[in-house]
Structure 1
Amino acid sequence: MRISGRALFIFFTLLYMEGLEICCGEANSTITCLAGEGEALLELKGSFVDDSHRLQSWTGEDCCSWKGVECNRETGHVVKLDLHNPVIIDYDRFNYDPEYAANYSRSCLGGEVSPSLLNLTRLLYLDLSSNNFSSAEIPSFMGSLKSLRYLKLSLARFGGNVTPYLGNLSSLDYLDLSDFWTNALTSDSLSWISSLQSLNYLNLSGVNLAQSDDWMYGINMLPSLIELNLSNCLVGRIPPLQHYNFTSLVSLDLQQNLINSTVPPWISNITGLLKLRLDGNGFYGSIPDTFMKLTSLRELGLSSNFFEGSFPSPVFSMVNLSYLDLYSNRFSGSIPSNITSLCSLELINLSTNKFSGEIPDLGTDPFGCLTNLQHLQLSYNSFMGPIPESFGMLSSLLELDISNNLLTGIIPANLGQLRKLKTLYLNKNSLSGMISELHFAQLAMLSELYMSSNSLVFNVSSQWVPPFQLQTIRLDSCVLGPDFPLWLRTQTKVEDLGISNASISDILPDWFEQIYSHVHFLDLSRNRISGKLPKFEESNLTDRRLVFRSNNFVGPLIPLPSDVYFFDVSDNSLEGNISIPEPTNLTVQFLLLSNNFFTGEIPTSLCQIKVLWILDISSNLLTGRIPDCFGDIQSLSMLDLSDNNLNGAIPSSLSSLTTLSSLRLHNNSFEGKLPLLQDWISLTILDLGRNDLNDVIPTWIGENLTSLRFLNLQSNKLHGNIPPSICLLEQLQLLNLVGNDISGKIPLCFGNLTGMNVDHYDYEYLFVDIDYGGSISEIIKGIERRYTKTLPFLVSIDLSNNNITGQIPGELMNLSKLLNLNMSRNHLQGRLPEKIGDLGALESLDLSWNDLSGPVPYSLSSLTYLSHLNLSYNNFSGRVPTGNQLQTLNDPSIYIGNNELCGAPLPNACPGDVPLPKIDEDTDDNEDNHDRVWFFTGMGPGFLVGWLGVCSVLYFKKSWNYAYFHFLENIFDKIKH
């Protein structure tokens, strides 16, 4: 039988309390409450706020019968006061369930703690935990309760500095000040703790000790300490000591303290440790070999650190280990097969490391080890090969998580024999094959099923009734169709359903709305489901997500549930007006209605939604103007109204949306001038292309929109020069001014656009995981492409179809990461910069229909990624450069309209080219043909030697030198071919 350190302590505490002969008055009616102590308790009651009436039994004269009060059966003194909140706090639920949060808050005692407590002179036990004292300081008079042996103030939301007068409680055995709410409790010194020489249990979890440099010295003076919890105390470091007095510890918890060091060596000397938790720090290096001495250890938590190396071998000396957590480190290599020798293991968590190789057989040990294993977590590694069939023999398994690896092959059918299994995570691997009813035959306890992102095909009977009732179903990218899976009708407790991209081509069945109208998360996207959208019941949740995108749903928009957080019906065939009833009750923050057939005007009711972050109603048939009230949606981060029939001026009220990061009004009929939007310092995307805007490019775009990366003003009626202030946009990586009436010269400062000179791998500035708000359509290589997830890699300048004059600045050649450069259909003159080869990332170059002249620079051939080139209809002259990537661009139309150009791939040869004599392929005299080839091959080098002597006197004449080397180049080409 395994007993934890805390269990041992509680056991001895209960024996101790029994020895005190504590009882409540209800058990012995002969006990009479001392009058003075009863009055003290009533005064204490009066200082509390008790909304739930927990203390309603505190009436009458016999205080020993009151709830939470216990007295000594001989003296009648109050010795125990237990006022802890009976409602157990679930912190996660508290954050997302308002009704639960309200009920919990009502059940808390609040107000103040009256000093009348001092009249309870024999009080041994005081518990005020899980209440809410609203960051009030712990009363200093508590340090005068000299008889106190047990003090628990955990989760009571006290704040301020911990009173050092608690150091006067010299009889204290148990002290718990832990709190996970806000680190509101602090202590700038723990010197007072050294006076508590009887202390066995100390829990300061959540107390901010960042300014307490002496915390270790005070605790080191406690020779009787059995259990120490300093998790989430922000200690930062462990100060060195010459001698450590922790030999009595059985439990040590230092989690979440940001300790950036190797593991302190003194830990290995606490050989009686049963529990060691070092999770969530900055510990690095390898696990010390001295950990082999911790042979009694039963719980080892090292997660969320920077440990590295192979699987830690000292673990194998911990023969009683039941809990092993190495989650989120840098361990690598394979898992040793002798891990099966740790027979007591109940939890193994190796997730989020760099482990590789095949997973060892964990269920085939001849001695029956690992029969107690309940949790096996191996996700986010690089494990390869098949799932071991031996997993089906781990009969105690409750959780199996091998997701996010490189596993292949089929899923063993004997996993269906794990009768106790509750959660199964196989998602994001490369598993394949059929899934049959056998895979779930005995899984009556299963509640969470994750198989997404594999190549699995469900082959179950239409009459199949699964043995389980699932709460979570994630089968995205599995083949469930073409019919809608009928077995889903049996799952009446589902809260989370994800079956996107499941090859379903069917009408949404009538029963779906009835069974799944309460779900918290629903994703039916990327199927071909038809019919009308289902309606949903209201719930008490605040972050419900409903995703129907990319299907064939028809009909009107359904009323949005008030609790929906994310709602996506984009890319369907919905129609009618956009109706948003009771918008002030909505919690929706992501509203995606794009690519449907919605008509009418944009409803002003959208302006009344409380916190709307993303609004995408692009690609519909909307008409009218943008409502002025849109400027009131202060939370708006992304607004996409592109590809509609909207008109009128862009309202100046939008200038108040200072948190906007993306504005797309592309392809409408907006007119007039650009509104003054100079306060949009967070704007990343500004797409006003394909409208009827008539204005100059305002200077404030460059001067104020300092975060701008993508600027699209194409196909408007913009005129005037390009303002040099555009060059102030250091992060700019897309400039599209196509199809306007822009004149003047290209600013020389374009070379300062450093956003086109760096790699863009930072996805954080866009919501690129879902295609909304952060997308741009751009013509690259003559094809219009839509950039969504690849948007960070779009680096382009397109000034085509304007009236720009002057030369192409040489400074432009500094933009080494530029992918697309299009300046066609302008009036550019002069030569192409010789350093055009410095645009090393260039994939597409179009300079056609200009007045450029001179030779095509030879450096063009060094552009190894160039796959689209158009220099047609200019005045280029001389030989077309050859070599490298240009050899693949052999379409003559690339250079057509340049009458002075010559050489391949153009049909006209350059002056001085000597064609090789034609070989008659029909002759039978193959030997003669062979000799003729060798004759001309040998003639070339001989002719060159002679020519060198004739032309050496002309070496220093530039024009002769130029013609001479082009002649040599032509000869070598003829010899080569």
Structure 2
Amino acid sequence: MHLSNNPSLLLNVDTDWIPPFQLHSIGLSSCRLGPMFPKWLLSQKNYSWLEISDGGISDRIPKSFWMTLSSKLNYLDMSHNKIYGTLPDLQILVTNIQSEIDLSFNNIEGTIPSFPKSVTSLFLNNNKFSNPIPFLCPKDKLNLQNLNLSNNLLSGLLPDCWVKFDQLLFLNLENNRFSGSIPASFGYLKKLQSLHLSNNRFLDVRSVTNCTSLSNLDLARYSLSGHIPTEIGNNLRGLSFLILKSNNSLSGHIPTEIGNNRKILDLHMNLESMTLLARLIDLSNNKLEGEIPLEISSLVGLVALNLSRNHLHGNITAIGHLTSLNALDLSNNRFSGEIPTSLADLNSLGVLDLSNNHFSGKIPTGPQLQTFNASSYKGNPGLCGMPLPKCPWDQLPDNNPGNNDNINRQDKSGIDDFHLGLYISVVLGFIIGFWGVCGSLVLKRYWRIAFFRFFGDVKDKLYVMVSVNIARIRRRQ
């Protein structure tokens, strides 16, 4: 039965109703099932798929539900409800299921219990769990490949039991209150590809660099201090996504070893309704110092680079070799010198912020750099050229107001001379044209007689021609 995505569908049945049928698949997401937990599910024994997410359920999950869970189950989704209370020890109640379990976006609290070792994906994020120890230190190895515990109330040290999770591909612990060091047993996560630890209170993450299959690593917004570990470049050669932004205690130089990560960086970001696939290095809002290492120029696939709000200085020559770059933010640093002309040749560059640095000279002319607003270059007093004001050496050579007055006077004088010449020409033309003809007729009697005789003959010919044509027309009528 699949009736998902029908928010107007209301399943109004008695609490003691027992369906006279057995379902093999139940899909009722985004239907109105609540607010009570649908107890008719307890009578179903054969389903392999149960999806009741976003059903308006505001109740506890009865213990009997877990006890009657079908052994054929391979997918269970109760996410995006308002389910509350605690979970029982599911390793005892539920056995022999190889399934994905999603209880995310609820109000479940307390201890994260042990789950069956055959569960492959577990999503408990966005709840109120506070104690992860029983779950993170299981008796047996688990087959978990995907684990999301983010956005809970988990705190304290991570237990050193990660050898039991050696099948993990995806792990998300972000937005909790974990502290201390990442345990050494993290090195057993050789298959781990995506790790999210942002917004915690870890102080040492060097054990993460032993997860040699990592392609996605998010260490943003937590208390990481000291230098960026050089092992990130040496050990994580396949790293595709690295976020270290907003670690306000992170200092030192950008390690030259970062140039070893030739694949850096593939990022899949979900920004509200926009999904962006990019290649990114984000080290913004730290206390990094020194120059940009030349080795960064070897990252020819880099699409986005954000080094803003640090204490970096020197020139940015290496940036001009990143031919795939389409977003660059170097704002609020201490970079100096001229903007390299190679930056003007980056035809794909669509986002640029070089503001609040010490750049100087003329902005290079190119297909992209003049298309950005002046705000992209503000706070660089020595910088000039479009879209900023013109450079001093591009101005007119003489800006003396006295010279301008002389030029204006010369222009007015030229205009007066032109008018005078025009008047003289008109007068002379009239005199020559009029008196050249009329004067000759007055002075020469013979010319005068011939002139009037000519016009008399023309008049007679016209009169005869008109009279003849009128007579012809009358005869035809």
**TM tier, shorter chain?**
0.5 to 0.7
Structure 1 residue 821, shift from structure 2 partner: 0.9
Match for residue 306 of structure 2? 822
Structure 1 residue 755, shift from structure 2 partner: 0.8
TM-score, with length taken from structure 2? 0.67
Q: Equivalent residue of 1:849, what SS?
A: coil
Match for residue 239 of structure 2? 708
Q: Equivalent residue of 1:603, what SS?
A: helix
Structure 2: how far apart are the matches of 1:707 and 1:860? 28
Distance 1:854 1:684, change over 3 A: closer
Distance 1:517 1:805, change over 3 A: same
Q: Equivalent residue of 2:71, what SS?
A: coil
Kept after mapping to 1: 8 A contact 2:293/2:318: no
Structure 1: how far apart are the matches of 2:360 and 2:59? 64
Match for residue 95 of structure 2? 562
Structure 2: how far apart are the matches of 1:474 and 1:639? 31
Alignment of 1:50-89 (within 5 A): none
Structure 1 residue 595, shift from structure 2 partner: 1.0
Alignment of 1:27-106 (within 5 A): none
Match for residue 878 of structure 1? 361
Match for residue 262 of structure 2? 754
Structure 2: how far apart are the matches of 1:816 and 1:893? 27
Kept after mapping to 2: 8 A contact 1:602/1:623: no
Structure 1: how far apart are the matches of 2:227 and 2:255? 15
Q: Does 2:193 correspond to 1:661?
A: yes
Q: Equivalent residue of 2:83, what SS?
A: strand
Kept after mapping to 1: 8 A contact 2:108/2:128: yes
Structure 1 residue 684, shift from structure 2 partner: 3.2
Structure 1 residue 649, shift from structure 2 partner: 2.9
Kept after mapping to 2: 8 A contact 1:846/1:869: yes
Q: Please, which runs of 5 or more residues in structure 2 have no aligned partner?
A: 397-477
Q: Which amino acid aligns with 1:617?
A: L
Structure 1: how far apart are the matches of 2:288 and 2:124? 39
Kept after mapping to 1: 8 A contact 2:241/2:264: no
Kept after mapping to 1: 8 A contact 2:140/2:164: no
Kept after mapping to 2: 8 A contact 1:601/1:625: no
Match for residue 545 of structure 1? 75
Kept after mapping to 1: 8 A contact 2:8/2:31: yes
Structure 1: how far apart are the matches of 2:75 and 2:378? 56
Match for residue 847 of structure 1? 330
Kept after mapping to 2: 8 A contact 1:544/1:563: no
Match for residue 252 of structure 1? none
Match for residue 421 of structure 2? none
Structure 1 residue 901, shift from structure 2 partner: 1.9
Q: Does 2:380 correspond to 1:898?
A: yes
Match for residue 359 of structure 1? none
Match for residue 35 of structure 2? 507
- Counterpart of 1:647 (choices 175, 179, 183) is 179
Distance 1:707 1:887, change over 3 A: closer
Deviation per residue, 1:134-181 (Å, 9 max, x gap): xxxxxxxxxxxxxxxxxxxxxxxxxxxxxxxxxxxxxxxxxxxxxxxx
Q: Which amino acid aligns with 2:358?
A: N
Kept after mapping to 1: 8 A contact 2:230/2:255: no
| Identical positions, percent | 34
Structure 1 residue 521, shift from structure 2 partner: 0.9
Alignment of 1:276-675 (within 5 A): 473-476=1-4, 478=5, 480-486=6-12, 492-500=21-29, 502=30, 504=32, 506-508=34-36, 510-516=38-44, 519-526=47-54, 528-533=56-61, 535-538=65-68, 541=71, 543-557=73-87, 560=90, 561-564=94-97, 565-580=99-114, 586-604=117-135, 606-608=137-139, 610-613=141-144, 614-671=146-203, 673-674=204-205
Kept after mapping to 2: 8 A contact 1:550/1:570: yes
Kept after mapping to 2: 8 A contact 1:830/1:854: yes
Distance 1:655 1:490, change over 3 A: same
Match for residue 690 of structure 1? 221
Match for residue 289 of structure 2? 804
Q: Which amino acid aligns with 1:541?
A: S
Distance 1:786 1:821, change over 3 A: farther
Structure 2: how far apart are the matches of 1:652 and 1:834? 36
Structure 1 residue 894, shift from structure 2 partner: 1.7
Deviation per residue, 1:635-660 (Å, 9 max, x gap): 34433222111223322233334343
Structure 1: how far apart are the matches of 2:171 and 2:378? 44
Structure 1 residue 556, shift from structure 2 partner: 2.5
Structure 1: how far apart are the matches of 2:260 and 2:183? 33
Q: Which amino acid aligns with 1:824?
A: S
Larger radius of gyration: 2
Q: Does 2:258 correspond to 1:743?
A: no
Give the paired residue count: 385
Distance 1:705 1:805, change over 3 A: closer
Structure 2: how far apart are the matches of 1:905 and 1:491? 75
Q: Which amino acid aligns with 1:562?
A: T
Which structure shows the bigger proportion of residues in helix conformation? 2
Distance 1:484 1:563, change over 3 A: farther
Structure 2: how far apart are the matches of 1:494 and 1:669? 47
Q: Please, which runs of 5 or more residues in structure 1 have no aligned partner?
A: 1-472, 717-738, 761-774, 778-783, 915-977
Structure 1 residue 596, shift from structure 2 partner: 1.0
Structure 1 residue 503, shift from structure 2 partner: 6.0
Structure 1 residue 824, shift from structure 2 partner: 2.5
Alignment of 1:103-118 (within 5 A): none
Structure 1 residue 546, shift from structure 2 partner: 0.6
Structure 1: how far apart are the matches of 2:31 and 2:346? 43
Q: Which amino acid aligns with 1:755?
A: K
TM-score, with length taken from structure 1? 0.35
Structure 1 residue 593, shift from structure 2 partner: 0.4
Distance 1:830 1:563, change over 3 A: same
Kept after mapping to 2: 8 A contact 1:756/1:816: no
Match for residue 91 of structure 1? none
Alignment of 1:166-205 (within 5 A): none
Kept after mapping to 1: 8 A contact 2:362/2:384: yes
**Taking CA–CA contacts closer than 8 Å with sequence separation of 6 or more, which of the two structures ends up with the larger relative contact order?**
2
Kept after mapping to 2: 8 A contact 1:651/1:675: no
Q: Equivalent residue of 1:632, what SS?
A: helix
- Counterpart of 2:391 (choices 903, 906, 910) is 910
Structure 1 residue 887, shift from structure 2 partner: 5.3
Structure 1: how far apart are the matches of 2:207 and 2:195? 14
Distance 1:864 1:537, change over 3 A: farther
Deviation per residue, 1:850-903 (Å, 9 max, x gap): 33333334554554543432111222223345664445532x322111112224
Structure 1 residue 630, shift from structure 2 partner: 3.4
Deviation per residue, 1:412-451 (Å, 9 max, x gap): xxxxxxxxxxxxxxxxxxxxxxxxxxxxxxxxxxxxxxxx
Q: Equivalent residue of 2:305, what SS?
A: strand
Structure 1: how far apart are the matches of 2:20 and 2:233? 56
Q: Equivalent residue of 1:567, what SS?
A: strand
Q: Equivalent residue of 1:655, what SS?
A: helix
Distance 1:884 1:897, change over 3 A: same
Q: Which amino acid aligns with 1:494?
A: L
Q: Which amino acid aligns with 1:899?
A: P
- Higher mean C-alpha deviation, range 565-574 or range 818-827: 818-827
Deviation per residue, 1:480-520 (Å, 9 max, x gap): 223434599857321212233x4658525544433446532
Deviation per residue, 1:737-771 (Å, 9 max, x gap): xx444324662x755542149xx7xxxxxxxxxxx
Deviation per residue, 1:707-749 (Å, 9 max, x gap): 4333444555xxxxxxxxxxxxxxxxxxxxxx444324662x7
Deviation per residue, 1:197-216 (Å, 9 max, x gap): xxxxxxxxxxxxxxxxxxxx
